[in-house]
Structure 1
């Protein structure tokens, strides 16, 4: 990522972002929780990209370079925390599970301009923080140039159905080498990574108003039912519904 601005102080705020709005790469001295109570928010870092529907928030540790992008009209909430306020001891960006209680606390906390009200809400907010069990919300960035070449072939067209062997030949690298790199760098297999790539695109397209059928087709699933099944298995809700709130 290219740093375009430096924000030394994290800000607690709540605002509406238009579809496609971007916040350039920056970093904070303190920790930050970012949450979209409506729409889908992407957080990009050098380590990868996270997407967060309304069932999830993202923890951004102090000092981490990151940028944001809104998919669909997005209600954007940010919580500013001191560097020492890190109850989960998180050193890297992490998806947080947003329970119904945490959702309401996040909205109330970021909408309030009363220090006294925030002081009453903060213990509940901190006590409700939990890592999300949805690893598909993170898409890691490849470091090895050979792995990056193959990932780049699919990033522009996640519906590409070519096998790893075919992609390896196109990138001029051995299939066994790629298999090893996916495991070493991402901790997952090529099919698992491709599914996450497609889910990331699906979340963005659905937030922008695309139909379930059109989204599944564009992302490369063989049928709408196959798309619905995979989406539900990874996200915990159907693509035609809404993220749990």
Structure 2
């Protein structure tokens, strides 16, 4: 799918009203250049899947979740799966519950209906209610750290594009003309985890998109590189704390 980049200017406007929910259609392949927002943003893709890059972290936001983006944080976005999305803007001087770093949030049915309602009927009094309902989830559900060294960044980008790639560490080292020990050392130094652990997180994160799109657990397992659904389900539960069926919609 071709990627179309949309340039978004950095915005230093005054803070917004206490809370605004904006509905938008997210087209496939749409991407933005690096930009910032003057206010906090809750990015929720009701039926789409969007990736957000913030510095050295790559986040995936499936319909089951939202991402809290702090005010003035440089980031880029890319639509991985088209659909409908919402941007909930929270003024940066909002005194109630906020987070200083990007934070994954679970979107419950109540939060979903509240966001949709606020798009049609803005209500500043809903700020404390919405923020009080937001429940952070383990960050591993959402993002994987991105290495900066060109040698292992090539490996990382390839696996992000195709999580089902079965090549082992030796094959990846050969493909990048790098020694196995060097790749092992660089992954640990730049991501804080082993290559195997990093690839597992990439696969589980990618699985969220398939499950949110209605794919079965078995089909999702195969799509992200697991030959046995049972092994996939066990790994998924270990990483997220839930059975993959919890994230399946459609």
- Please state which band the TM-score falls in when normalised by the shorter chain: 0.7 to 0.9
Match of 1:96 among 99, 105, 123: 105
User: Unmatched 5+ residue regions in structure 1?
Assistant: none
**Which stretch shifts more, 184-193 or 13-22?**
13-22
Aligned length: 238
2:212/2:247 contact within 8 Å kept: no
1:168/1:175 contact within 8 Å kept: yes
1:61/1:93 contact within 8 Å kept: yes
- Whole-angstrom CA distance in 2 between matches of 1:82 and 1:240: 32
Give 3-state SS (helix, strand or coil) of 1:12's partner. Answer: strand
Partner of 1:12: 20
**Matching of residue 29 in structure 1 with residue 29 in structure 2:** no
Give 3-state SS (helix, strand or coil) of 1:217's partner. Answer: helix
- Whole-angstrom CA distance in 2 between matches of 1:16 and 1:215: 28
C-alpha displacement of 1:59 = 0.9
Partner of 2:188: 183
Note the 1:57-96 alignment, pairs <5 A.
57-72=66-81, 74-85=83-94, 90-96=99-105
TM-score, scaled to structure 2: 0.77
When the two chains are superposed, the root-mean-square deviation of aligned CA atoms in Å is 3.1
Note the 1:223-238 alignment, pairs <5 A.
223-235=228-240, 236-238=242-244
Give 3-state SS (helix, strand or coil) of 2:46's partner. Answer: strand
TM-score, scaled to structure 1: 0.78
Taking structure 1 as reference, are residues 231 and 110 closer, same or farther at Cα in structure 2, changes over 3 Å only?
farther
Match of 1:161 among 141, 166, 183: 166
